[in-house]
Structure 1
Amino acid sequence: MKRRHFLRAAVVGAGVTAFGNTLSPSALADPAQHGTSPYGPLGQADGNGIQLPSGFTSRVVARSGQQVAGTGYPWHRAPDGGAVFADGDGWIYVSNSEITPGGGASAIRFGSGGDIVGAHRILDGTRQNCAGGAMPWQTWLSCEETDRGYVFECDPRGPASSAVRRAAMGRFKHEAAAADPVRKVIYQTEDVSDGCFYRFVPDTWGELSSGTLQVLTAGSATSGSFTWTTVADPDGYPTATRKQVSGAKRFNGGEGLHYANDTAWFTTKGDNRVWQVNLASGTYELAYDDSLVSPGNPPLTGVDNVTGASSGDLFVAEDGGNMEICIITPDDVVAPFLRINGQSGSEITGPAFTPAGDRLYFSSQRGTSGSSSGGITYEVRGPFRTA
């Protein structure tokens, strides 16, 4: 039984706590391998330079430095991590800006038919806002990817002045965040070569002003069991947060993070891996490792941002590589889902689905120019799998 099928069966068949910490190493699966995409091969590039499977279409919804259509609002430079929030009968796409100084985050509002009805700023005056995460109570965590950076909690509907700094979540080189409503914690990745995987345990769920910061502790192997250990000084000075706990497991350049079904998946760009943390069983393993793909060249390199669909499929964006978003299926098959042509000096960022699961938003951070001023934000629409 494949790894994500096993998790799904365990949760549905026996309840989320039935397996406790009893999952044996023999239940761990091999990393995903190159195979045929459930969406079929990529077609010829469309007018936006994007190769897509049959039945899918793309459109440009924003360009850095240009006004978002019909709004008068100039889209930010270097669009990075993003998320989608329900908004009445429409939705809002939120996007960070990975620049210093300036940074911050912006949002585009869409009507029920996908028409753009507004755009606005939701965070100002921060630095190098890379990724982040959507919270169940409908806020956006925007994370600073700087030494001793902060997490900022933002209202997707704005204004920017309503954003709040969440210092209790730790000061380090933040990347992504994801909420676990079962254990009532927030997971975080750290973008350094000897980074940690963190969880923040709020004193009150839904309120992030106070709580406990912990790191995952485990051996040096690529699979096994783990525990959580408290970081004594989340402020990270004079000793960096990642260096305070003996036995903290090191991850080479933590990037994107996605939580679903008692599982957290996150990427590490330094070694082109996708990690799977099984929260119900207290184990971790590799979901993908480009050095273990055979035969042929690995389809996914430069792993970066990641999101998931209701089908259980993971969508992993590349920083470089072939400028692809690749899919990793619940059957452990990895294959390209889309490819952007003519933008080799860029990276793909901020993939996020609408609540209905029929539209995927993402950005090319530097577009065709290779500069932060050349960012392009796209929408792809089509028959995405729901099961």
Structure 2
Amino acid sequence: MTMLLNRRSFLSKTVKAGTTLTLGGTLLHLSACSNEDIKRPIFNLLKDPDGICDLPAGFRYTIISRHGEIMSDGHAVPDYHDGMGCFAGPGGEIVLVRNHEIPTYFPSDPPSQEPRFAYDPDASGGTTTIWLNDKMEVLKHHLSLTGTIRNCSGGKTPWSTWISCEEPGTGLGSAWEMGKRHGYNFEVNPFTALEKVRPLKAMGRFNHEGVAIDPATSIAYQTEDRVEGCFYRFLPNVKGRFEEGGVLQGLRFVDRDIIHTSGFPLVAGKPYACEWVTVEEPDPEEDTVADQAQAQGAAVFVRGEGIVYDRGSIYFACTSGGQQGMGQIFKYTSDEAGGHIELVFEAEEQGVLEKPDNITLSQWGDLVICEDNGYDTQCLVGLIPEGKLYYIAANTQSEWSGACFSPDGRTLFANIHKDPGMTLAIQGPWEQLRPTA
């Protein structure tokens, strides 16, 4: 496996860009698994006798919640578990806010379970909130946003709320065809009961995926899950109050030859100067936000998905980006001139790590990646700054999503997306799992 990595700020170590990594024999062997018909062996993970989650020796998982269970508010847990944020409760509790990417069943979707609190009573997507004690026991569990559609990922705010993002799709049969307009972000308070909230229209109407916010400026960076998508930033009129409106912009390279980040041969670790173009109509009738930005030279990012802030930089994944279409990870760093962007990772061979989706950072500085590929096995993968990978978990049921750590860093929460959707708490000797550089 060849990967392209640059200097990662969160551990302040330098690697040589473009090198072929010396991975262990186990990882190299996985490169032979080149199509979905071949079983994908993950040698450092022990098979789960219950067939749910394979883990390294010494690790364990607890199923926190699964589709169909009855919550504290009397409603059933929705399916299609997706993006998730973790918060510290007022009394030491752990509070999870979890998205539900309920698909569009055009022309008639399942209705909201709580129409009086719904943004759109004819839609059943939204979020649920789970309160846990330190034994991973559920204290309470309830709907916290309803009446939205395909809530894919999102992001935590520095003021301890959750931005839940709609990914409505485009064209016939998508949520764009529903009676009420969809394709927005919604802000959810983790510590309150279900309430009706308004869409954050100034942040744009498009195929939202994730959000990461710079705590110093309140600028929100956004990914778009679209083959011809863009990378955006939202400049709020008032710090910490996105409902007060703001300006939506798309990223453009100063080098105007770079108009497609998969079609142009980007050099790993090289900083490319950027500037930003303003989207004049962030709330269009049709799906034209990316078209507006690209008409002004904004670059194409292929299926932008997971995104996270770390020490002045934004890391984000493009699930189908790169020369081989198997995934990229970028790093954007702001400055007074518009900032610069670097290619951090690009998958070039099949089988080891492919199609990075949701991402998060551990407290010790590694990137944790949720895979969404076509193999028989989906993995949670750790990536250290020196470029080595390690496997955290695997399942054969559905893609991983929503990875996030507890406030103390000892528990990794993650979702198995569907069939049925479930939320797991993974614990174990993390210090023994990571490879040495």
Equivalent residues of 1:307, 1:316 under 8 A apart: yes
What amino acid is the match of 1:198? Y
Name the residue aligned to 1:381: 427
Instruction: Give the direction of change, closer, same or farther, for the CA distance of 1:284–1:230 in structure 2 (3 Å limit).
Output: same
Distance in 2, matches of 1:248 and 1:334, equals 33
Indicate which of 33, 45, 56 corresponds to 2:48: 45
1:65 to partner: Cα distance: 1.1
Name the residue aligned to 1:18: none
Distance in 2, matches of 1:145 and 1:239, equals 11
Name the residue aligned to 2:363: 310
1:34 to partner: Cα distance: 7.0
Q: Secondary structure at the match of 1:161?
A: coil
1:255 has 2:305 as partner: yes
Distance in 2, matches of 1:58 and 1:32, equals 34
Indicate which of 40, 52, 57 corresponds to 1:54: 57
Equivalent residues of 2:279, 2:289 under 8 A apart: yes
Distance in 1, matches of 2:416 and 2:165, equals 19
Name the residue aligned to 1:241: 289
Name the residue aligned to 2:401: 349
What amino acid is the match of 1:129? N
What amino acid is the match of 1:348? W
Name the residue aligned to 1:14: none
1:202 to partner: Cα distance: 0.7
Equivalent residues of 1:179, 1:187 under 8 A apart: yes
Equivalent residues of 2:360, 2:368 under 8 A apart: yes
1:302 to partner: Cα distance: 2.6
Indicate which of 170, 173, 180 corresponds to 2:207: 173
Distance in 2, matches of 1:225 and 1:8, equals 23
Equivalent residues of 1:122, 1:163 under 8 A apart: no
Equivalent residues of 1:300, 1:335 under 8 A apart: no
1:144 has 2:166 as partner: yes
Structure 2: gaps (5+ residues): 28-42, 105-122, 171-181
Instruction: Give the direction of change, closer, same or farther, for the CA distance of 1:113–1:60 in structure 2 (3 Å limit).
Output: closer
Q: Secondary structure at the match of 2:69?
A: coil
What amino acid is the match of 1:359? T
Name the residue aligned to 1:15: none
Name the residue aligned to 1:266: 316
Indicate which of 317, 327, 330 corresponds to 2:382: 327
Equivalent residues of 2:7, 2:15 under 8 A apart: no
Deviations 1:16-75 (A, max 9, x none): xxxxxxxxxx9983388473599x92223253532212221111111111225x885521
More strand by share: 1
Distance in 1, matches of 2:8 and 2:286, equals 44
Name the residue aligned to 1:76: 78
1:97 has 2:152 as partner: no
Instruction: Give the direction of change, closer, same or farther, for the CA distance of 1:158–1:272 in structure 2 (3 Å limit).
Output: farther
What amino acid is the match of 1:244? Q
Instruction: Give the direction of change, closer, same or farther, for the CA distance of 1:241–1:127 in structure 2 (3 Å limit).
Output: same
Distance in 2, matches of 1:319 and 1:227, equals 31
Distance in 1, matches of 2:277 and 2:292, equals 10
What amino acid is the match of 1:279? T
How many residues of Structure 1 are paired with residues of Structure 2 in the alignment? 356
Q: Secondary structure at the match of 1:244?
A: helix
Per the normalisation by structure 2, the TM-score is: 0.75
Distance in 1, matches of 2:20 and 2:212, equals 23
1:363 has 2:420 as partner: no
CA RMSD of aligned residues (A): 2.7
1:110 to partner: Cα distance: 0.6
Q: Secondary structure at the match of 1:243?
A: helix
Distance in 2, matches of 1:52 and 1:244, equals 45
Q: Percent identity?
A: 31
Distance in 2, matches of 1:71 and 1:111, equals 19
Q: Secondary structure at the match of 1:120?
A: strand
Q: Secondary structure at the match of 2:147?
A: coil
Indicate which of 158, 167, 172 corresponds to 2:192: 158
What amino acid is the match of 2:343? L
Deviations 1:268-327 (A, max 9, x none): 222232322231463222222221x5xxx4411132111111211111111233210111
Equivalent residues of 1:299, 1:336 under 8 A apart: no
1:205 has 2:239 as partner: yes
Deviations 1:117-159 (A, max 9, x none): 0001110111111111111111111111015601001111232
Indicate which of 222, 225, 229 corresponds to 2:273: 225
Q: Secondary structure at the match of 1:168?
A: helix
Q: Secondary structure at the match of 2:148?
A: coil
Name the residue aligned to 1:370: none
Q: Secondary structure at the match of 1:3?
A: coil
Distance in 1, matches of 2:50 and 2:22, equals 28
1:81 to partner: Cα distance: 0.8
Aligned pairs (5 A) from 1:18-37: 29-30=17-18, 33=21, 35-36=23-24
Instruction: Give the direction of change, closer, same or farther, for the CA distance of 1:5–1:169 in structure 2 (3 Å limit).
Output: closer
Name the residue aligned to 1:21: none
Q: Which has the larger radius of gyration?
A: 2
What amino acid is the match of 1:87? G
1:106 to partner: Cα distance: 0.3
Equivalent residues of 1:30, 1:286 under 8 A apart: no
Distance in 1, matches of 2:426 and 2:304, equals 26
Deviations 1:149-195 (A, max 9, x none): 01001111232324331111011111111111134311110011000
Indicate which of 344, 358, 362 corresponds to 1:287: 344
Q: Secondary structure at the match of 2:96?
A: strand
Distance in 1, matches of 2:287 and 2:411, equals 44
Instruction: Give the direction of change, closer, same or farther, for the CA distance of 1:278–1:56 in structure 2 (3 Å limit).
Output: same
Distance in 1, matches of 2:217 and 2:381, equals 29
Deviations 1:349-383 (A, max 9, x none): 1111111111111111123xxxxxx2122110123
Distance in 2, matches of 1:48 and 1:71, equals 30
Deviations 1:101-126 (A, max 9, x none): 31111011012333210001110111
